[in-house]
């Protein structure tokens, strides 16, 4: 029997959610003056670029945008079946005293965000680090909570949440795939699965 895929976001919903998050960030920080946006590679970086663009269009200012690969900060780097291909971290601005908006696609166990927090702190001491995620699917293993959420989705731990973005996958979509192997990581067919 074919698995039932539950599409929870199409391109319209995703765009609305990201625009709302941009508004909430501006409201919470009293404008864009102190903001820097950092996306977690790969799909978090795409979403960060869109959020930064939305903030720039709303405020008519330029927003510092950075990208980070958290592979080297993971706590399971030696227990995985394979070494992750590490990408370059590009944070070409000082984070000291900035309100850093950390952007990722899916918030699941919290371990990726823990690694990202460690890495940001290695670049300096931000005034605040705020977390923006497109999907919060629950099942946290660490005390981490998002400040800005596109959509909250109740899931089973064995489900896969797949985020696709047009820049990488040709389509904007978020879907939940029932998956009974217990692995909620990157899918082989593209799309960020968590």
Partner 1 sequence: MSKLASRHLLGLEGVSADDISLILDTTHTFREVLDRPIKKLPTLRGLTVLNLFYEPSTRTRISFELAEKRLSADTVSFTTATSSVKKGESLRDTVQNIEAMKIDMIVVRHSSAGTPYYLTQCSDANVINAGDGSHEHPTQALLDMYTIRKKYGKLAGLRVVLVGDVKHSRVIRSNIWGLKALGASVALCGPSTLLPAEVERYGCDIYTSLDEALDGADVVNIMRLQLERQQAGLFPSQREYTNLFGITRERLKRLNKNYTIMHPGPMNRGVEISSEVADGDSSVILDQVTNGQAVRMAVLYLLSGPEAEGPQA
- Compute, in degrees rounded to 10, the torsion defined by CA atoms 101, 105, 109, 110: -10
Among 15, 56, 59, 124, binds partner 1 (CB under 8 A): 124
Our finding on whether 87 is near partner 1 (CB under 8 A) is yes
Our finding on whether 90 is near partner 1 (CB under 8 A) is yes
| In the complex, minimum distance from the CB of residue 137 to partner 1, in angstroms, rounded to a whole number | 23
Among 12, 82, 143, 180, binds partner 1 (CB under 8 A): 82
Among 6, 24, 56, 118, binds partner 1 (CB under 8 A): 118
| In the complex, minimum distance from the CB of residue 184 to partner 1, in angstroms, rounded to a whole number | 16
| In the complex, minimum distance from the CB of residue 162 to partner 1, in angstroms, rounded to a whole number | 18
Our finding on whether 60 is near partner 1 (CB under 8 A) is no
Residues whose CB falls within 8 Å of the CB of residue 16, separated by 6 or more in sequence, listed in order = none
End-to-end CA gap in the chain = 23
Neighbours of 10 (CB within 10 A): 13
- Strands across the sheet containing 160-164: 6-9, 173-177, 160-164, 192-193
| In the complex, minimum distance from the CB of residue 125 to partner 1, in angstroms, rounded to a whole number | 10
Among 86, 127, 156, 183, binds partner 1 (CB under 8 A): 86
Residues whose CB falls within 8 Å of the CB of residue 1, separated by 6 or more in sequence, listed in order = none
Our finding on whether 78 is near partner 1 (CB under 8 A) is yes
Element (H, E) at 51: helix 43-59
For binding to partner 1 (CB under 8 A), which residues are involved?
69, 72-73, 77-90, 118, 122-124
């Amino acid at each position: 029997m074919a698995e039932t895929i539950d599409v929870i976001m199409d391109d319209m919903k995703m765009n609305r959610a990201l625009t709302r998050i941009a508004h909430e960030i501006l409201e919470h920080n009293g404008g864009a003056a102190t903001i820097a946006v950092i996306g977690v590679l790969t799909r978090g970086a795409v979403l960060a670029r869109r959020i930064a663009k939305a903030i720039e269009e709303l405020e008519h200012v330029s927003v510092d945008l950075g990208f980070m690969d958290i592979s080297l900060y993971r706590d399971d780097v030696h227990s995985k079946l394979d070494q992750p291909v590490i990408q370059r971290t590009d944070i070409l601005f000082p984070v000291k005293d900035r309100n850093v908006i950390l952007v990722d696609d899916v918030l699941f166990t919290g371990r990726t965000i823990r690694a990202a927090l460690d890495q940001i702190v290695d670049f300096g001491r931000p005034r605040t680090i705020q977390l923006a995620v497109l999907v919060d699917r629950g099942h946290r293993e660490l005390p981490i909570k998002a400040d800005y959420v596109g959509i909250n989705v109740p899931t089973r731990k064995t489900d896969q949440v797949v985020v696709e973005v047009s820049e990488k996958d040709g389509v904007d979509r978020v879907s939940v795939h029932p998956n009974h192997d217990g692995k909620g990581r990157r899918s082989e067919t593209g799309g960020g699965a968590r």
